């Protein structure tokens, strides 16, 4: 791995097809040492952005740079950037080993590296088999081996969790975290919010080609909506009456409610002041998926909260 700290940068990156703007003046930076999730619904413009980043698509205006350079100007692309785009791309009639070896030749990488990585991704026993006989999960592993061939410091993955079984998802997740912990720049697109929640440190959220959030995953969850608290109390009706007007109350069982709009300290203080006995007071965490859905339907999120459009 190189010792510099390359980053991915998009500068007013725009792509239009006729009258349709698919990517609309994106500005962002992806930093090393963390997993950056690139989130958005299908058709939000994630893949187009990644393709522009990798020189496969020409921006209508603006720039996408890696390590300060356009992808096609990188002097040693495979040793700088590893990309995982489409697991179906390798030719079905070629063996896994041969697929990696031609890539090694393109990057002047020792051929022994192909065998090392085939073993690392768990395909050692099927290295000589044709890729056409591989499952989707095996193809994803082969794609990851190809991505890592040049020991690159920047990794770009487009929907790497698609089609993987739970074991495969856990493996990819651990791998991405490990790669980021080694100081690499890891940029991962996904529409699977729940999975990215366990993986990404930072998120960029795209909606209809526009960047609507650029913040840590924790900030996104925290800032995505009103506080939610589960309360269990033998005086639950009285408590509901007290908070009415300040927060919404949803029944969650005989003695339980979910209070939306007041956080746990405020609710606890209110209960103490009014002499309401509490058996449980649990802040409910907003998941990334819920945060994303709220964001996607409501407006632009900032570190202070959702700025409703």
Partner 1 sequence: MLDQRGRPGFGAALAAEWSRTTTLRQARLAPLVCALAGAGVAALFLLTAETTTGIPVSLTPALDVVSTSMLGVDAATFVVIVLVASLVAGEQATGLNRIALLAVPRRGRRLAASALVVAVGGLLCGLVAGLSAFGAGQLVSALSDGATVAFTAEGVTRTVLGSVVMVPFYGAVTLACTTVARSLPGGVVGTLGLFVLPTVLGWVPGDSLDGVLRYLPGEAVHAVAGFGAEANTLHPVAALAVLTAWAVALVGVAHLWTRRRSW
Six-digit token pair at 129? 């088999």
Rounded Cα gap, residues 198 and 194, in angstroms:
7
| Residue 303 touching partner 1 (CB under 8 A) | no
| Residue 78 touching partner 1 (CB under 8 A) | yes
| Residue 83 touching partner 1 (CB under 8 A) | yes
CB 197 within 8 A of CB 205: no
- What mask of x and - would describe binding to partner 1 in positions 226 to 255, judged by CB under 8 A? ------------------------------
Rounded Cα gap, residues 267 and 283, in angstroms:
10
| Residue 51 touching partner 1 (CB under 8 A) | yes
| Residue 123 touching partner 1 (CB under 8 A) | no
Rounded Cα gap, residues 271 and 225, in angstroms:
23
Residue 208 CB, nearest approach to partner 1 (Å): 19
Residue 97 CB, nearest approach to partner 1 (Å): 9
Residue keyed to tokens 């909506």:
225
* Residue from 95, 153, 185, 199 in contact with partner 1 (CB under 8 A): 95
3-state per-residue secondary structure call for 58-74: CCCEEEEEECCECHHHC
Rounded Cα gap, residues 305 and 207, in angstroms:
17
User: Of 58, 56, 64, 47, which is closest to residue 7 (Cα–Cα)?
Assistant: 64
| Residue 54 touching partner 1 (CB under 8 A) | yes
Three-state DSSP at 162 gives coil
Cβ proximity to partner 1: between 101 and 228 the closer is 101
Single out the segment in contact with partner 1 by CB under 8 A; choices: 24-32, 33-41, 94-102, 266-274: 94-102
> Residue numbers of the site for partner 1 (CB under 8 A)?
1, 51, 54-58, 71-72, 74-79, 81, 83, 85-86, 88-95, 98, 101-103, 105-110, 113, 146, 150-151
């Amino acid at each position: 791995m190189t010792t510099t700290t390359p980053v991915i940068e998009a500068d007013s990156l725009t792509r239009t097809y006729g009258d349709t703007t698919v990517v609309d003046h994106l500005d962002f930076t992806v930093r090393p040492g963390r997993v950056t999730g690139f989130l958005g619904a299908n058709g939000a413009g994630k893949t187009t952005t990644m393709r522009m980043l990798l020189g496969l698509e020409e921006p209508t205006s603006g720039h996408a740079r890696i390590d300060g350079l356009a992808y096609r100007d990188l002097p040693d692309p495979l040793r700088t950037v590893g990309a995982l785009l489409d697991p179906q791309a390798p030719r079905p009639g070629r063996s896994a080993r041969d697929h990696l070896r031609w890539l090694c030749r393109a990057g002047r990488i020792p051929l022994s590296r192909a065998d090392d990585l085939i073993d690392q991704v768990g395909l050692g026993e099927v290295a000589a088999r044709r890729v056409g006989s591989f499952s989707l999960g095996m193809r994803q592993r082969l794609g990851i081996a190809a991505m890592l061939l040049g020991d690159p410091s920047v990794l770009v993955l487009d929907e790497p969790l698609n089609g993987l079984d739970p074991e495969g998802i856990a493996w990819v997740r651990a791998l991405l975290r490990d790669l980021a912990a080694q100081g690499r720049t890891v940029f991962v697109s996904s529409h699977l919010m729940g999975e990215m929640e366990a993986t990404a440190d930072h998120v960029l959220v795209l909606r209809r080609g526009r960047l609507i959030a650029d913040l840590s995953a924790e900030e996104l969850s925290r800032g995505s909506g009103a506080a939610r608290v589960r309360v269990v109390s033998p005086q639950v009706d009285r408590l509901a009456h007290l908070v009415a007007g300040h927060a919404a109350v949803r029944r969650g069982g005989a003695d339980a409610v979910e209070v939306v709009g007041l956080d746990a300290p405020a609710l606890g203080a209110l209960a103490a002041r009014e002499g309401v006995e509490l058996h449980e007071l649990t802040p409910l965490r907003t998941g990334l998926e819920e945060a994303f859905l709220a964001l996607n339907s409501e407006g632009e999120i900032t570190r202070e909260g959702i700025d409703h459009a």
